[in-house]
Homo-oligomer: A and B are copies of this chain.
Amino acid sequence: MARPREFDEEAVLDAAVECFWSRGYEGTSVRDLIERTGLTGASLYNAFGDKRALYQRALDHYVESSIADRIRRCEKLAPREAIGAFFAEILKRSLGDRAHKGCMLVNAAIDVAPHDPEFQEVVATVLVRIEDFFVDRVTAGQANGTITQAVSATNLAQHLLGILMGIRVLARVRPQRALLEGIVASTFALLDDADGNGMKLS
């Protein structure tokens, strides 16, 4: 064998995520990454390939540790509660986001996916995963009567995905509690039946 690496790969990915998340792909220089991760340029290139490959790993790391994790936690809940908990968490994250970093996936959807077919595919796949989670919970909710049947499960899930994207964009420019909560509140009114009992927020 040979000399073992001195760095913790996960820690390096965390640092890379931090860079790309807050400054974007083009806005992050390799020197930024070197400074943040603490390891040298050679090690970085040796371990990850190039800047693009590192971004790919970082985005993957973010998706798994943040988004996929949230889905796994919420999909076990009762239908209505699952969607409620999901958006309550999004709201909490968005309002506590002092640096206005938003969601790294949404940021990627805007500033890297359109210029790179491979990244577009990656981002689209994650979005489908989120949509599938919504479809699953909405379908179950319609079955047990906690979610309106006035709109198809497919359309409702698409709507929730759209709202999610919208909240994440607004969180970067107008992260005001009244705005974001208003959006979620009206979303839950949509899920309710006509005679809906208002909005259950979280």
Contacts and interface: CB of A to CB of B under 8 A. Distances in A.
A35 to B, nearest CB: 18
Interface string A171-202: 01110000100110111011001111000000
A154 interface: yes
Contact of A163 (B23, B163, B173): B163
B110 A155 contact: no
Interface residues of A, number: 53
A115 interface: yes
Interface of A: 23-24, 26-27, 99-102, 106-107, 109-111, 113-115, 120, 123-124, 127-128, 150-151, 154-156, 158-159, 161-170, 172-174, 179, 182-183, 185-187, 189-190, 193-196
